[in-house]
Structure 1
Amino acid sequence: MGRVAFFSAVVVSVATVAYASVSSQAYTWQNVKIGGGGGFVPGIIFNPSQKGLAYVRTDIGGAYKLNADDSWTPLLDFANDSHWNYWGVDALATDPVDPTRLYLATGMYTNSWDPNNGQILISKDQGETFTSSPLPFKVGGNMPGRGMGERLAIDPNSNNILFFGARSGNGLWKSTDYGSTWAKVSGLPNVGTYVPDPTDTSGYNNDKIGVSFVTFDSTSGSSGKATPRIFVGVATVGSSNLFVSNDAGSTWSAIQSTNTSWIPHKGVLSPAEKSLYISTSDGAGPYDGTYGGVYKYNITSGTVTNITPVSGGDLYFGFGGLAVDLQKPGTVMVATLNSWWPDADIFRSTDGGNTWTRLWDWVSYPTMDRHYTYDDSLAPWLGPDATTTDLTTQIGWMIESLAIDPFDSNHWLYGTGATIYGSHDLLKWDTTARTITLKSLAAGIEETAVQALLSPPTGPPLVSAMLDLAGFVHNDLKAYPSIEFDISVSSGVTGLDYAGNKPTNLVRVGNADVSTGTAGPQVAISTDSGKTWNIDYGSQGGASGGKVAISADGDTVLWSTSANGVQISQYTNPFSTVSSLAAGAAIASDKKINSVFYASSNGRFYLSTDGGKTFTSTATLGSSSSSNTVIVNPSVTGDVWVSTDKGIFHSTDNGTTFSAISGVAQAWSISLGGPARTGGYPALFAAADIGGVGYFRSDDAGTNWVKINDATHGFGSASANVVAGDPRIYGRVYVGTNGRGIFYGDASGSAPSATATSVSTSASSSSTTKTSSVPITSASSSSSSAAHPSSSPASSSSAPPSSATQSVYGQCGGSGYTGPTVCASGSTCVVQNTYYSQCIPN
């Protein structure tokens, strides 16, 4: 086993790097198809005036529009780093008078996680384009209670008027100019006082949920005049939480006779019945709900009737999703929130709530009579492709959205925590047979929160890791993946890596299955490119999350956990703490030498040559204070890149010295992909700030850059996303987003000509260099482990050869290189590619 000794550090200036203004290259972007949604769908809204027009809103993935073939088109893919909170949609309204108009209330969080106020996005072309109307407060599309609503409503008689129910005690707001400007409505007796957890100090669960829904009574007015009767529900427990105005919002009075221990979630008007249906739950949702009720308010008589479908011991859930059939007055449906066991359920009444039938019934425990056939062909990972009689959850969970097509009583949709279900044969429910089709109908909705991506040199082109769904092996980017990770370990996967010398060997780490409370080992190993996984029982229970690196030969796992520091294990033995690395360190393995690992933390770089047991600091990375990603050239030992809060740094000598890539203000995820030409340096991809935040590619090791995303593909928050270059296809890159799934991009035009000019960056830097007294060696890797060695010595430097001697594994040549070209005794300068030659031991 090799060892490295280090002498004292010396301060040096960062090397001069050529840089020019960034050009753009056209890319074709498509979603990697996962299908089925992948995340929570809190709102589904049909337009009552135009047949076939419907929208869904999601909590972190923006909004979508329904297509004629049951697929969905995303509307907010233009949201970039400056407008990342557009993807949190807390309310949606489609205009019943002018169906071209669409309004979205957007903003991700009301606490400090989102520093920005919310806005109403206004479209006059059904979501093709939007303008923004700023609000003077925050909007919480991914906050508790996000399934309530709709909080945003358009006056059906005078569509220039809109009402919006805000969170955080900000009350009710009104616009009279199609959403362009807003003013607070005075007089609402209660604006919502319920707080899920007053003891929470993060601001996430201790904020007031606020107004839960706004519903106009279209029967109370006439066209061209403001609708006088408006209903409002608020999140309040213990006092009146339902209110009505009969003078267009000037004054309000409470509606009594509902259980004020339960929060109103939905208020849906049945115009023909002159009634308002209300679903309630004892929690804000979407995860909680142990009790609740369903009510019917008769507008004419002013009376409230409790029409809850179940009672007594059968009532162990709240109610969320609620819909009426406008074609069949008296037909109403309501969904459980939440019935986690044995499954969710949905209730249907055709007589105004007097009697109910349900989607499944007990035959005798544990046998269930499911009144549906189950079709998950569009998302096979959702469950079995047949109706079962066991307790396997099929109907879903977190059902806060439910809608019946106002033009087609057979067509219905509902949203869960993972998909959209529905069918086109709903009326079979009312027949003697009662068997309907339950089908995943979320094609086009990609709402996953991607944590890591891997494009290995062999096997599948892509392996993904994500929250909630664990991850997938993508053998065909355009087909729904048939291989989902076994979630016996880590229901949410946060880190992936492959072994450089055995690239079919993969490792993954992640979070425990929150639905079962599992806190066992959270590391798994695959030797067949992710088809099957084995638990690494060396990992301790309780440790989870973070990032992972596996050694070149696949026998050692280095794990930077989310809360248990950095740990190391070889041959699946118990993990031990790596005391020489700080918690949260960015890590990587060398892809050729089994004993070498790299790390970066708090602005410093670290090297291990003993299989990750110990790390030694080798350099500081300029003035950076945090490191985001460490990546390595898979073909060249010691060729390392680090992305930091102060840019990108590159080393060609195992981290002994680094060059700062000029012009990069900040960088998050970086990755290497296929080279532009045979033998060329791998393409470098970055989610970074290079003259502005975006996504970039360099074909010459950071000298020149092209921007590869465009105005219609912003990818949301750059700091939350991951990129992975495809080593087999030049120019292809995968972008994993926090809410819109995975995109893959291919260059569709020629790259702009390189126009870089030398810009001096020789200002004093805190980058340091340390000298190795003993070369890195490995018992399990030969000294020729650098890929594709050539017998031809490098002589392609653009400056006269230096008389200085380069150390073993140091750079000794390449296009634009001006350093030493004579290698230390015992090593030879070997060409690795056009841009890099390395001193390799003889």
Structure 2
Amino acid sequence: MIHLKFSILASALLGVLSAVGDAASVTPYKWGNVKIGGGGFVPGIVYSSTQSGLLYARTDIGGAYRWTASKPQWTPITDIFSAASSNFLGVESIATDAKDPKRLYIAVGQYVKSWAGNGAILASKNQGNTWTTQWNASFPMGSNEDGRGAGERLAVNPVNNNIIFFGSRTAGLWMSTNYGQSFTLVTSKGVFFGSVTSLDLTMDYIFYPTPPTDNNGKGIVFVQFAPNTRGQTVFAGSHDFNNPLYRSTNGGKTWSSVSGQPKGYFPMRSAFSSDGRSLYVTYSNGPGPNGVTNGAVWKYTLSSGEWTDITPKKPKVNSNPSFGYSGVSTDAKNPEIVVVSTINNWALGDDVYRSLDGGSTWKSLKSTAVQDIKVAPWLKFGKTAPGFGWWISDVKIDPFNSNRILYVTGATIYGSTDVNNADSGKQTHWSPVTKGLEETSVQDLASPPSGPALFDAIGDLGGFTHQNVSRAAQMWTNPMCSSGSSVNFAGQKPSYVARAGTDGGGYSVNAGKTWKKFTGVPPNGSGGLGKIAVSADGKTIVWTPSNADAYWSRNNGTNWTAVSGLNPANLAVVADGWDPKTFYAYDTNSGTLWASTNSGKTFVKRATGVVTGSGVLNTVYGSKGTGDLWLASDDGLYHSTNGGKTFSKITGVTSAEAVGFGAPASGSSYSVTVYIAGVVDGFYGVHRSVDGGTTWTQLNDAKHQWGWIGKKVIGDPRKFGRVYVATNGRGIVLGDDAS
């Protein structure tokens, strides 16, 4: 997924969060999301084995979610993490408690890179409504790294539920004996413990009798307790070609390699048959979700120690289709029923296979699938029909309803409640199970004064035109960008819209209903992306593609001419909301405000030494007269009413990362309501001012943080109090004044 780099706080986060929540008075707000419906990779799903209808989903950059029978939709349970702890919005693993379904554990941390900081394990006694303890690990985690679809790394002892295991990527196997309050490293005689340094990572090789042949650093990917063994028999899978699977028969005190096991693959996931007699393990020749070209499914019979290759379909390693296997789940009511999923079959798309006889024979569920995507029509990705999915890292049979199966993809979760139809060759019916789950990485937002409610540029999906924010829309096409970066409408002609993305850019003359691709591309701008600006009358487009200079076009992107005067020449440009000939640009290195009064052809310095180090410039659309500018920076918030000739620093704002505008309050002295993502009175969050920055009101609280929100924040020009917040993994957050 699209990702950004963040550092995390080393202090105990739970205490910090409760403290900052009281930093300022909070206006009552109702928070939700603009509906897209999923939109990102969900590497894993975990059912409760003891409470019907209770399950959890973990995402790579968007936190964790809970689903219950009483509230059949996804509820986010990690929105407490602010920008300072955005790394924790990546969930490496989830574990439920078979004895106490109220207990829940999550391992958090997105990256193993040095800049990301270490991960943590959080414990809850009320299914994630609140988190009671946090153990700060001394090592990183990798929810958005390769291998994130394997699992689960966390496991709770089904008998002695105070005991929890966690398999790390870089620091071995860890165990807690106090419900996750603290963890200690597991050591075992005869098993190699230690670490070697490769590249910039220190990779631990716990479980390996000798250092492994493949230094991939994915570590221990799953821990699995065997049923009917009083919590004494435990299996652990590690990413080592030579000895990937280990077993303990004394509750994890000592471990040994499982004899006769397959070699030459990485184990991905495992599942026991309901009678505990068989262990099913999926394998791939890479950690996934990409780069996998081979794999298998094996069955281990515990009583005899026999291994049986039960792979449903053999990959073609050096040709298409090449793929591996990842997801596996068994039926809690029938020990012979098992399902598995392929991963990284780019040639034909991934599949889910189901067996009624312990893996002796298989049926493809894709072959009988009928998909209904009305709730997320964009899942067609510009084609006539949706595919079955890709990156199917996990598949789960509902332990209380054998007819219900869920599987994850790189973009959604699909579910069916009639999979038994496949037994007789009948159709099975699948639809997205994403109500309440929003996982997009939002790159830009624009809310026009007429027409649709919202335009949004989205990482990995391109973008959408939302006529109604409560219904998912079709994906932008012509061009269909794999990622969108910028969208902008004409201030005095909002039906004219332009956008940019990975595959170029395009324009619309009917408020985003249909699009036409730019027929030309700026020199060195073939990579697309970047920032786009549209003049107030819609006749001029100024585009600064990524890694390229700024260019202007007066013929809808057919021809592009280099902007002159800008220094540096690759500055992002914004359009004046009223005067069609005026554009602005801001250089954060020198603190220079540049302006053009000839439709973006040439720029001259208008102000110098304003603020350096950071800065995001925005203009007030529809403001009569020219030059109503706001500048968000690490040093605070600045305002200009003369086109950037001079700026005044707004008091009370410590720092601001984004600034946007919405409908004014009734009787307001200023033409718009100003919204910022920044720090006011010590609280980082969303704030608004109805009087041009004289006073500020905090809108969100400690329970509604959503990680880093500095990419974009705007108001709705037609509804006072409505605010849209761009997040990096929690979709488009929508807030309405509830006071």
Give the CA deviation at 1:528. 0.8
Match of 1:616 in 2: 604
Kept after mapping to 2: 8 A contact 1:335/1:399? yes
Is 1:704–2:691 an aligned residue pair?
Answer: no
Is 1:458–2:464 an aligned residue pair?
Answer: no
Within-5 A mapping of 1:103-182: 103-114=105-116, 116-131=117-132, 132-167=134-169, 169-182=170-183
Instruction: Give the SS at the match of 1:348.
Output: strand
Given the alignment, which residue of 625, 638, 646 partners 2:635?
Answer: 646
Is 1:83–2:85 an aligned residue pair?
Answer: yes
Given the alignment, which residue of 555, 558, 568 partners 1:582?
Answer: 568
Match of 1:491 in 2: 482
| Aligned residue identity for 1:691 | D
Give the CA deviation at 1:587. 2.4
CA distance in 2, matches of 1:372, 1:337: 18
685-694 or 532-541: bigger deviation: 532-541
CA shift digits 1:384-410 (9 cap, x unpaired): 99xxxx995521000111100111110
Normalised to the residue count of structure 2, the TM-score between the two structures is 0.89
Is 1:445–2:457 an aligned residue pair?
Answer: no
Instruction: Give the SS at the match of 1:218.
Output: coil
| Aligned residue identity for 1:600 | Y
Match of 1:100 in 2: 102
Instruction: Give the SS at the match of 2:86.
Output: helix
| Aligned residue identity for 1:598 | Y
CA distance in 1, matches of 2:552, 2:381: 38
| Aligned residue identity for 2:541 | V
| Aligned residue identity for 1:397 | W
Kept after mapping to 1: 8 A contact 2:93/2:108? yes
Q: Alignment RMSD, CA only?
A: 2.5
CA distance in 2, matches of 1:63, 1:311: 34
CA distance in 1, matches of 2:412, 2:560: 37
CA distance in 1, matches of 2:561, 2:266: 49
Given the alignment, which residue of 421, 429, 453 partners 1:428?
Answer: 421
Kept after mapping to 1: 8 A contact 2:164/2:177? yes
Instruction: Give the SS at the match of 2:520.
Output: coil
Give the CA deviation at 1:122. 0.7
CA shift digits 1:152-191 (9 cap, x unpaired): 0000111000000111x21110000000000011138468
Kept after mapping to 1: 8 A contact 2:408/2:414? yes
Given the alignment, which residue of 523, 527, 538 partners 1:554?
Answer: 538
Given the alignment, which residue of 27, 30, 44 partners 1:25?
Answer: 27
User: Identity across aligned pairs (percent)?
Assistant: 41
Within-5 A mapping of 1:16-415: 23-35=25-37, 37-68=38-69, 70-114=72-116, 116-131=117-132, 132-167=134-169, 169-187=170-188, 189=191, 208-221=217-230, 227-237=231-241, 239-311=242-314, 313=316, 316-360=322-366, 370-383=367-380, 393-415=386-408
CA shift digits 1:276-320 (9 cap, x unpaired): 111111111112311111111111112221111122647620011
| Aligned residue identity for 2:665 | A
CA distance in 1, matches of 2:194, 2:29: 47
Name which one, 1 or 2, has greater alpha-carbon Rg: 1
CA shift digits 1:369-428 (9 cap, x unpaired): x3122111221221399xxxx995521000111100111110110110111111111111
| Aligned residue identity for 1:378 | V
| Aligned residue identity for 1:611 | S
Is 1:684–2:674 an aligned residue pair?
Answer: yes
Kept after mapping to 1: 8 A contact 2:479/2:505? no
Kept after mapping to 2: 8 A contact 1:219/1:274? no
Is 1:569–2:553 an aligned residue pair?
Answer: yes
CA distance in 2, matches of 1:680, 1:177: 58
Kept after mapping to 1: 8 A contact 2:113/2:201? no
Is 1:743–2:733 an aligned residue pair?
Answer: yes
Instruction: Give the SS at the match of 2:666.
Output: coil
Kept after mapping to 2: 8 A contact 1:491/1:511? yes
Give the CA deviation at 1:266. 0.3
CA shift digits 1:751-780 (9 cap, x unpaired): xxxxxxxxxxxxxxxxxxxxxxxxxxxxxx
CA distance in 1, matches of 2:193, 2:534: 53
Give the CA deviation at 1:630. 2.7
588-597 or 558-567: bigger deviation: 558-567
Given the alignment, which residue of 527, 531, 535 partners 2:509?
Answer: 527
Is 1:467–2:459 an aligned residue pair?
Answer: yes
CA distance in 1, matches of 2:215, 2:509: 45
| Aligned residue identity for 1:402 | V
CA distance in 1, matches of 2:342, 2:416: 19
Instruction: Give the SS at the match of 1:641.
Output: strand
Kept after mapping to 2: 8 A contact 1:22/1:705? no
CA distance in 2, matches of 1:616, 1:451: 29
Kept after mapping to 1: 8 A contact 2:656/2:677? yes
CA distance in 2, matches of 1:155, 1:523: 53
Kept after mapping to 2: 8 A contact 1:563/1:583? no
Unaligned runs of 5+ in 2: 1-22, 204-213
Is 1:713–2:708 an aligned residue pair?
Answer: no
Kept after mapping to 1: 8 A contact 2:478/2:506? no
Give the CA deviation at 1:271. 3.9
Instruction: Give the SS at the match of 2:87.
Output: helix
CA distance in 2, matches of 1:271, 1:725: 53
CA distance in 1, matches of 2:688, 2:558: 40
Kept after mapping to 1: 8 A contact 2:296/2:324? yes
Kept after mapping to 2: 8 A contact 1:200/1:206? no
| Aligned residue identity for 1:405 | D
Give the CA deviation at 1:86. 2.7
Give the CA deviation at 1:645. 2.2
Normalised to the residue count of structure 1, the TM-score between the two structures is 0.79
CA distance in 1, matches of 2:73, 2:25: 35
CA distance in 2, matches of 1:630, 1:215: 53
Kept after mapping to 1: 8 A contact 2:593/2:606? yes
Kept after mapping to 2: 8 A contact 1:160/1:175? yes
CA distance in 2, matches of 1:528, 1:391: 23
CA distance in 2, matches of 1:478, 1:71: 15
Give the CA deviation at 1:620. 3.0
CA distance in 2, matches of 1:578, 1:60: 37
Kept after mapping to 1: 8 A contact 2:238/2:245? yes
The higher relative CO (CA closer than 8 Å, separation ≥ 6) is in 1
CA shift digits 1:25-77 (9 cap, x unpaired): 22121211222x11101111111111111111111111111133642211122
CA distance in 2, matches of 1:728, 1:455: 9
Is 1:539–2:521 an aligned residue pair?
Answer: yes
Kept after mapping to 1: 8 A contact 2:496/2:509? yes
Match of 2:18 in 1: none
Q: 1:409 to 1:28 in 2, by over 3 A?
A: same
Q: 1:240 to 1:175 in 2, by over 3 A?
A: same
CA shift digits 1:230-267 (9 cap, x unpaired): 11111123x21111111222221112444432111102
CA distance in 2, matches of 1:678, 1:505: 31
